[in-house]
Chains A and B, each alone.
Chain A
Amino acid sequence: MSEKTGVIRVLLAKVGLDGHDRGVKVVARCLRDAGMDVIYTGLHRTPEEVVDAAVQEDVDVLGVSLLSGAHMTILPRMIDLLKKTDADDIILMAGGVMPDEDVAALKKLGVGEVLLQDAPPETIVGTVRRLVAERGPR
Chain B
Amino acid sequence: MDMVEDVLAGRVRGIARMMSRAEAGGGDCRAALAEIYRHTGRAHVVGLTGVPGSGKSTLARVLARAIRASGRKVGIVAVDPSSPFSGGAILGDRVRMTGLSGDPGVFIRSMATHGAVGGLARASLDSVDILDAAGFDIVVVETVGVGQDEVDILQAAHTVVVLSAPGLGDDIQAIKAGLLEIADIHAVSKCDRADANRTLIDLKGMLTLGVAGGDGWQVPVLPTSAENDEGIGDLLAAIDAHRAHLEDSGGIALRRRRIAETRILGIAEDIVRTRFAGRHDGRLAGLLDRVMAREVDPYAAAMDMLAASRED
Judged by a CB distance under 8 angstroms, whether A41 is at the interface is yes
Chain A nearest CB, measured from B170 CB (Å): 33
Q: Is the CB of B89 within 8 A of A56?
A: no
**A57 cross-chain contacts in B, Cβ below 8 A:** 16, 108-110
Q: Is the CB of A37 within 8 A of B101?
A: no
Q: Is the CB of A38 within 8 A of B88?
A: yes
Name the interface residues of A82-134: CB closer than 8 Å to any CB of B: 85-87
Judged by a CB distance under 8 angstroms, whether B24 is at the interface is yes
**B82 cross-chain contacts in A, Cβ below 8 A:** 37
Q: Is the CB of B88 within 8 A of A34?
A: yes
Against A, the Cβ 8 Å flags (1 = close, 0 = not) of B97-115 are 0100110000111101010
Expressed in whole angstroms, the Cα–Cα distance for A57 and B78 within the complex equals: 11
Judged by a CB distance under 8 angstroms, whether A5 is at the interface is yes
Judged by a CB distance under 8 angstroms, whether A17 is at the interface is no
Give the interface size class of chain B.
20 to 34
Chain B nearest CB, measured from A55 CB (Å): 6
Given contacts A55-B13, A56-B107, A87-B13, contact A38 B90 (CB under 8 A): yes
**B129 cross-chain contacts in A, Cβ below 8 A:** none
Judged by a CB distance under 8 angstroms, whether B17 is at the interface is yes
Given contacts A4-B26, A53-B108, A58-B16, contact A42 B88 (CB under 8 A): no
Expressed in whole angstroms, the Cα–Cα distance for A93 and B87 within the complex equals: 23
Name the contact of A37 in the complex, choosing from B21, B26, B89 (C-beta under 8 A).
B89
**A32 cross-chain contacts in B, Cβ below 8 A:** 83, 86, 88-90
Give the interface size class of chain A.
20 to 34
Expressed in whole angstroms, the Cα–Cα distance for A87 and B16 within the complex equals: 11
Q: Hey, which bits of chain A sit against chain B, CB under 8 A?
A: 2-5, 7, 9, 28-29, 31-42, 45-46, 48-49, 52-53, 55-58, 85-87, 138
B26 nearest CB neighbor, chain A only: A4
Expressed in whole angstroms, the Cα–Cα distance for A87 and B92 within the complex equals: 22
Given contacts A2-B23, A4-B24, contact A35 B87 (CB under 8 A): yes
Given contacts A40-B95, A41-B95, A56-B108, contact A31 B88 (CB under 8 A): yes
**B180 cross-chain contacts in A, Cβ below 8 A:** none
Given contacts A31-B88, A32-B83, A40-B92, contact A3 B24 (CB under 8 A): yes
Given contacts A48-B102, A55-B12, A56-B12, contact A40 B91 (CB under 8 A): yes
Q: Is the CB of B90 within 8 A of A42?
A: no
Q: Is the CB of B90 within 8 A of A40?
A: yes
Judged by a CB distance under 8 angstroms, whether B30 is at the interface is no
Q: Is the CB of B94 within 8 A of A53?
A: yes
Expressed in whole angstroms, the Cα–Cα distance for A133 and B98 within the complex equals: 32
